Structure 1
Amino acid sequence: MLKEHFKVRFCETDGLAHVSNTVLVQWFESAREPIFRMFTPKLDLNNWPLILASYKVDFLKQIFYGQDVEVRSFISRIGNSAFDVYQEVWQNQQKCATGLTTLVNFDYELQKAKPISDEIKTLLLSHQINL
């Protein structure tokens, strides 16, 4: 499991003092940075190896301003060229949302998916969860 902490900013809240639904997608992407680094340690945008194929967010509880959140990231599936990242947002020891993202190891020059190396698969497996 990978963990990232975020301070809920005032600009991320609505008139009811809870976090806007669009913010979670940003938190999830930021929390995936350690996974991105498995593929490109320096986050080299000129040699970026991944594309986002899909994402889904489920909202379980409201998330409020003034209380930090923790995003927990796991690998829930590893295929030949694609893998799924399962993520959770926690606030006050309560799971408030989940997300599932499919990423594809992609060759931009050939415009097609390419196999994930065994070395990277081993790194991904170290964060695997069975759902």
Structure 2
Amino acid sequence: MNFFEKKHIVSPLEIDEYNHVNNVVYVQWMQDVSNDHWHLLIKDIPKPDYVWFVIRHEVDYKSQAILGDEVRINTWVGKTEGIKSIRHYEIYKGETLLVKSQTTFCLLDAKTQRPKRITQEIKNLLLPVK
């Protein structure tokens, strides 16, 4: 598993009218951590000729974070085939699972913006050799 983790302290701008992290903020954190992970994976590639496009989010909200909490945002890539790849997320406060989710991405050709088959080279970036 190509696991990536990021820590974050909840800020006042992330709190909603119910005094906990707004649900939309969790999705933003998912996007941020997936971008950070992807840029780490491609750090040695000058400019890829492909991009990822979100086609589905599935989010299960289990518990809540509040102002000042430190959260741990974990991500890894799962099933990857054809033109789609599934990225998993878990967000924790201490040992408490706050959010469990997955996003389905479609690989696109950077120039044409059309779906592109995921090559073995890309799979090797996403999924470590077992």
The answer, yes or no, to whether TM exceeds 0.5 is yes
TM-score (norm 2): 0.83
Q: Which residue of 1 aligns with 2:97?
A: 95
Alpha-carbon distance in 2 for matches of 1:61, 1:127 = 34
What is the root-mean-square deviation of aligned Cα atoms in Å? 2.6
Does the 8 Å CA contact 1:80/1:115 hold for their aligned counterparts?
yes
**Quick one: which of 103, 109, 112 aligns to 1:107?**
109
Q: Which residue of 1 aligns with 2:86?
A: 84
For the structure 1 residues 42 and 120, does the alpha-carbon distance in structure 2 shift closer, same or farther, using more than 3 Å as the test? closer
Aligned residue pairs, count: 127
Q: 5+ unaligned residues in a row in structure 2: which ranges?
A: none
Q: Which residue of 1 aligns with 2:25?
A: 23
Answer with 24-33 or 72-81: which moved more: 72-81
For the structure 1 residues 2 and 101, does the alpha-carbon distance in structure 2 shift closer, same or farther, using more than 3 Å as the test? same
Does the 8 Å CA contact 1:75/1:127 hold for their aligned counterparts?
no
Identity of aligned residues (%): 22
Q: Give runs of ≥4 in structure 1 deviating > 3 Å.
A: 38-44, 108-111
| Structure 1 segment 1-131 matched on structure 2, within 5 A | 1-37=3-39, 38=41, 49-126=51-128
Alpha-carbon distance in 1 for matches of 2:91, 2:35 = 16
Aligned letter for 2:52? L
Alpha-carbon distance in 1 for matches of 2:7, 2:46 = 20
Q: 5+ unaligned residues in a row in structure 1: which ranges?
A: none
Answer with 67-76 or 35-44: which moved more: 35-44
The alpha-carbon deviation at position 14 of structure 1 amounts to 2.1
Does the 8 Å CA contact 2:77/2:86 hold for their aligned counterparts?
yes
Deviations 1:87-108 (A, max 9, x none): 0110021111111101111025
Aligned letter for 1:120? I
Alpha-carbon distance in 2 for matches of 1:116, 1:126 = 15
